[in-house]
A and B are shown apart, each in its own frame.
Chain A
Amino acid sequence: MSTMVDPGPEAPEAPPVEAKPPTRLGDLLFSKVSLVSGLIVILFLAGVGTFLLIQGLPALDASGEATYGEPDIWKFVGMLLYGTIYASLIAIVIVTPLAVGLALVISHYAPKALAKPVGYLVDLLAAVPSVVFGLWGLEVLAPKLLPAYKWLNEHFSWIPLFDGSVNSRSLLTASIVLALMALPIVTALLREIFAQTPRAHEEAALALGATRWEMIRLAVFPYARSGMVAAILLGLGRALGETMAVAMVLSATGTGYLTLSIISAENPNTIAAFIANNYANASGDKINTMIFAGLALFLLTFVVNFAGRWIATRGQNKG
């Protein structure tokens, strides 16, 4: 989609043969340098795959000590994948309504003069480093959430989500921080998409007497549907790979527990947080195990991001 725009002047190719073109060393050099840069990008990514495979594959027959007490590498990665996906899904459940609302504020609800500052504030949220988010989540957010968790546990412990012994550094706390970190990117994508709704559709709806909400439901949302799905998937990809917030906020030991509870002390662990927290004491086989887990995370985020982009371009071609 992005390469089609410039049908481009191919000037140096064009001159007729008889007028011998001057040898342009600069041109040759410049085009080769840019070509090589493009190839470096390819090489870089191929390198990521290759070196992760070289260092990760030896972990395939790891067991016992090297897989942190799990019987084999698949159980080890499986446990961590469960935690990674579970935490990110909760984060996405939190972030989706927030981001849709926030994007609507910027694209449709806020008056023109206010829309830009609101956009800046959301961008400011994106500028906060993840380690600071983690620090804040641990020191400020977690203690504040504890009373709510206690209340939920008291009244709704029959729902598996709110079962177990309450802890402030639970999966839900980590997911809330993850949601905050995914919020700016999802909002930014959504507001671009909402803003692309044809003005004529919106005005037609309003002219027929629709209220603002009916206009959004009937003109904006149908137009933006595939873009919304794509934006949420890309946000999910971001949440899956986020490391520091979870590593600092979540209290999980080893590969964690296979539990549904989101407010207890016994939590599943995520791949990225596991690596960050256990790397310092790792050596030998354990390094391979971690790199293998990283490879799994890479593949997972790749699939999610790819799905997001595929839906986005498919929607564009159709629309």
Chain B
Amino acid sequence: MTHTEIAAPQEMAIRAGQLPRAATLLTVVFAVAIGGVAGMLLGSGFAVMVLLAWLVFLVSLTAWSTAVEGRRKATDRLVNALVWSTFAVAMMPLLSLLYTVIVKGGPVLTPSFLQSDMTGFASLGQGGGIYHAIMGTIMVTAIAAIIAIPVGLFTAIYLVEYSAGSRLAKVITFLVDVMTGIPSIVAGLFALSLFIVLTGDPLPRLGLGGGVALSLLMIPTVVRSVEEMLKLVPDDLREASYALGVPKWRTIVKVVLPTAVAGIVTGITLAIARVAGETAPLLLICGTFPEANWNPFSGAVQTLPVYIYSSLNGTTDAKYGDIWTDRVWGAALVLIIIVMALNLIARIIGNIFAPKTGR
């Protein structure tokens, strides 16, 4: 720190003092050194060293800047450092999570793991696979999509094209807002009570129920995103079409929807990605089953998220052996790959076909 003091007391010019350009870097080096030495002296772990270095960095940078540049500049530097720190703090769990899932789940992913089910295997121990769970997730998500996409799409069309500003539209918009906030477990409880009443079975387990629960979570996302996209379509296009004598419904099908199609597909794919990873409702209404069940109208259906949860819950609390946890990590990796792939597809579609208007 000493050599920079030479630069500071120049003659009182119109310019206030300024830290050298490498100030931040110098302070980082200084802080890391102090943090490392202090950490070693205290005999503490790596996390404490990082924490110490961070604190030393904040304090010394602020102090140095106060001495040279004044209080206002110092505050600015402090806030700048804090704001970027939040970014680092937020990224650490993400990286740690992805790293753990890939390292622990990667070796488990063998062709036989993907192709066999759990028939004849206990939830503890080795062997078995997740074929049935992948198929169950695909089936239940597909049911949800079949219910939610038409309802969501047409609701959005109604809101934007047919009823702009009417009282019913306001009610529907409000209810869609309410639906956005429904906790996923409540969606599961709804499907459960619905099918208790419909089937008379006190403990119904069926794939259709899972689809209904997920569609409840999916509809608001679909309505919101489609609505946004339809609003981006310029009114000029609609009016030109009407002026040519094209009926309203053909205008919607041939002009409005094709213009907004990229955004609509993106929104729907993101909505599917969101519900594909849902656990809580499926835990209640789909249950667990050791083999693939293609009949959505009766019998439990195994899905990937529930597979992870129920295998983990198979033993008492936190006493799992490695052999047994491995399968869970494999399933987690597959689930992440599915969800991330859907997200990626959505972004690519959105980027390639994005309309040139708007943001």
List the interface of chain A (C-beta within 8 A of B).
2-9, 11-12, 24, 26-27, 29-31, 33-38, 40-42, 44-45, 47-48, 51-52, 54-56, 97-98, 100-102, 104-105, 109, 118, 120-125, 127-136, 138-141, 144, 147, 169, 180, 183, 187, 211-214, 216, 234, 237-238, 240-244, 247-248, 251, 271-272, 275-277, 279, 283-284, 287, 290-291, 294-295, 297-298, 301-302, 304-306, 309
Nearest CB on B from A72, distance (A) = 21
B183 x A101 contact (CB < 8 A):
no
Q: Spot the interface stretch: B3-11, B19-27, B189-197, B291-299.
A: B189-197
Q: Is the CB of B325 within 8 A of A139?
A: yes
Q: CB-CB < 8 A to B276: which residues of A?
A: 129
Q: Are A98 and B89 in contact (CB under 8 A)?
A: yes
Write the nearest CB–CB distance from B155 to chain A, whole angstroms.
Answer: 4
B101 within 8 A of A: yes
A-B Cβ contacts below 8 A, count = 309
Question: Which residue of chain B lies nearest to A243 when distances are taken between CB atoms in the complex?
Answer: B280
Decide: A211 and B76 in contact? CB cutoff 8 A: yes
B53-61, B167-175, B258-266: which one contacts chain A? B167-175
- B248 and A30: CB pair below 8 A? yes
Mark B residues whose CB is within 8 Å of A. Answer: 45, 47, 72-73, 75-76, 79-80, 82-87, 89-91, 93-94, 96-97, 100-101, 150-155, 157-166, 168-173, 175-187, 189-190, 192-194, 196-197, 202-203, 216, 219, 223, 227, 231, 235, 238-239, 242, 247-250, 252-253, 273, 276-280, 283-284, 305, 308-309, 312-313, 317-318, 325, 328-329, 332, 335-336, 339-340, 343, 347
A297 with B186: CB separation less than 8 A? yes
Q: Is the CB of B87 within 8 A of A101?
A: yes
Nearest A-chain residue to B159, judged by Cβ: A3
Q: Considering the chains assembled together, what is the distance between the CA atoms of A139 and B169 in angstroms?
A: 47
Specify which chain A residues have a CB less than 8 angstroms from the CB of B190 in the assembled complex.
47-48, 51-52
**In contact, A34 and B336 (Cβ under 8 angstroms):** no
Q: Please tell me if the beta carbons of A211 and B75 are within 8 angstroms of each other in the complex.
A: yes
Contacts A48-B182, A141-B96 supplied; 14 other A-B pairs, CB < 8 Å: A3-B169, A8-B164, A37-B158, A38-B168, A41-B155, A42-B172, A98-B89, A102-B87, A132-B97, A133-B97, A211-B72, A212-B80, A287-B203, A305-B177
Residues of A within 8 A of B187 (CB): 48
CB distance from B230 to the nearest CB of A (A): 9
Contacts of A180 in B (CB 8 A): 90, 93
Interface pairs (8), CB distance under 8 Å:
A3-B173, A26-B250, A30-B248, A38-B168, A183-B90, A212-B79, A272-B185, A275-B185
Q: How far is the CB of B219 from chain A (nearest CB, A)?
A: 6
Q: Point out the residues of chain A lying under 8 angstroms from B305, CB to CB.
A: 129-131, 244
In the complex, which residue of chain A has the Cβ closest to the Cβ of B284? Answer: A279
With a cutoff of 8 Å between Cβ atoms, the chain A residues found around residue B97 in the complex are 128, 132-133, 136, 140
- Contacts A37-B154, A105-B86, A127-B339 given; does A4 touch B223 at CB 8 Å: no
Chain B residues whose C-beta falls within 8 Å of the C-beta of A234 in the assembled complex:
181
Closest 9 CB pairs of A and B: A241-B183, A129-B277, A101-B86, A37-B154, A30-B249, A34-B158, A305-B181, A55-B193, A211-B76
B280 touches A244 (CB 8 A): yes
Q: Which of B94, B162, B176, B192 contacts A35 (CB 8 A)?
A: B162
State the main secondary structure of chain B at its contact with A. Answer: helix
Whether A37 lies near B173 (C-beta < 8 A) is no
Minimum C-beta distance from A254 to chain B (A): 14
| Contact partner, A129, options B155, B165, B279, Cβ 8 Å | B279
Contacts of A51 in B (CB 8 A): 190, 193-194, 197
Residues of A with C-beta under 8 A to B219:
41, 44
Contact B183 A298 (CB under 8 A): yes
Which of A12, A101, A306 has the most chain B CB atoms closer than 10 A to its own CB?
A: A101
Q: Which residues of A contact B203 (CB under 8 A)?
A: 283, 287
The reply to whether A9 and B239 contact each other, CB–CB distance below 8 Å, is yes
Kindly provide the distance from the CB of B240 to the nearest chain A CB, expressed in whole angstroms. Answer: 11
Q: Give every chain B residue within 8 A of A26 (Cβ-Cβ).
A: 247, 249-250
In chain B, what residue has the closest Cβ to A42?
A: B175
Q: How far is the CB of A99 from chain B (nearest CB, A)?
A: 8
B197 touches A41 (CB 8 A): no
Q: Inside 8 A of A41's CB, which chain B residues have their CB?
A: 151, 155, 172, 175-176, 179, 219, 223
Are the CB atoms of B164 and A45 closer together than 8 Å? no
B164 adjacent to A37 (CB under 8 Å)? no
Once the chains bind, are A244 and B279 in contact (CB under 8 Å)?
A: yes
Contact status A241-B186, CB under 8 Å: yes
